[in-house]
Amino acid sequence: MKIEDIAAYLQSIRKDALFINCDVLETESFDNLDKVTWVEIVNPEFTSLCPKTGLPDHGTIRIRYMPEKLIIELKSLKYYFLQYRNTGIFYESLTKLILEHLVKKVHPLEMVVEAEFTPRGGLTTKVVSTYKK
C-alpha cells in the first residue's frame, strides 16, 4: 500500500466537529444546596485526530465542576468521548466544545475543562476552558 493510499483512507474516515453530538450525554439529579461539592472526572485515554494529518492525538481530559442541580452520568460521558476518536479537531477547539456541551447539559455553577496532550514533535499542549455562572 502506498503512503498516498493510506493518507486517502485516513481522510475518508475522518469526521469534523459537527459529528460530535451532545445528545448522548445524560444527567442525574443532585442537590448541592450548600454549594460546597466539587466533582472531578478524569479521562486519561482520550483520543482525537489531528485535523491536518489524520494521525491520532492522545491526551487526558480533566473536568472539574460545581453542580447545582444536575451531575453528568459517566457511561454517557464515555460514549460522548468516543465520538472524538474519528474527529479531526484542534486541541483548543475540542476543549471549548467539551465545555460548551457539558455546560448545556449540566448547567453547573462553575466548570473547568483541561485537555493535556502527549508530546508531538517534542511539544506538549495543555488547554484550559472555564465557565462560571
In this structure, what CATH number is given to the domain that contains residue 72? 3.30.1130.10
Q: Are 72 and 41 in contact (CB under 8 A)?
A: yes
Residue 13: domain span:
3-132
- The per-residue pLDDT for range 7-38, each reduced to its tens digit, is 777 777 777 777 899 999 999 999 988 989 99
Q: Is the CB of residue 25 less than 8 Å from the CB of residue 72?
A: yes
Q: Which residue has the higher pLDDT, 77 or 121?
A: 77
54-66 pLDDT tens trace: 889 999 999 999 9
Q: Quick check: 129 pLDDT over 90?
A: yes
Overall domain count for the chain: 1
> For residue 19, what pLDDT is reported?
83
For the annotated catalytic residues, the residue numbers are 50, 57
DSSP 65: E
pLDDT tens-place string over residues 75-119: 999 999 999 999 999 999 999 999 999 999 999 999 999 999 999
- Residue 84: left (phi > 0), alpha (psi -120 to 50), or beta? alpha
Nearest to residue 112, comparing CAs of 51, 9, 33, 40? 40
CB atoms within 10 A of CB 27: 16
Give me 81's grid cell.
Answer: 468521548
